[in-house]
A = this chain, B = another copy of it.
Amino acid sequence: MHRFEAILENIRKKGLRDSKIKRKVIEYLLKANKPLSIGEIIELLDQEEFRFNKTSLYRETDKLLKGGFITEIDFLDGKKRYEINTGTHHHHAICTKCKKIVCVEIPNNLEEVEKKLFQDTQFKVEDHVLEFFGTCKECSK
């Protein structure tokens, strides 16, 4: 699993300490392959009888976020979710029935809209959030 090792190395390179919690968070996010909330990470830790304090988890996760190793996503349900920062900007389709998450790559990445917005209002877009909600194949039946 060299992807894991590569991330750890980058964490060290960036001057962050390589801690147990950081390792676990990275491990779970890599394995899950979908955004996880802190609550979900705690459940996974529980299953392994790996009990960490919630506070520490929040803090270490925040360091990973600030360091750019993970990204934060909001699916409008009051929880923040995190995923490995792959560098590729992408979006998600969330099934409102089974909560399954599909990654969506968008070829036309709203550049035109953002350019027009700047021309009209001088608003300089630095980031955007785009998530789709609907029904997945299985739940449509």
Contact = CB atoms under 8 A, between A and B. Distances in A.
A133 B127 contact: yes
How many copies of the shown chain assemble into the complex?
2
A129 B76 contact: yes
A102 to B, nearest CB: 6
Given A76-B74, A106-B113, A134 B125 contact: yes
Contacts of A104: 113, 117
Interface residues of A, number: 33
Contact of A129 (B96, B110, B133, B136): B133
A92 to B, nearest CB: 10
Given A93-B117, A122-B136, A124-B135, 15 more contacts: A74-B74, A74-B76, A76-B129, A78-B78, A96-B126, A106-B113, A108-B113, A122-B137, A123-B135, A124-B136, A124-B140, A126-B134, A128-B130, A128-B132, A129-B129
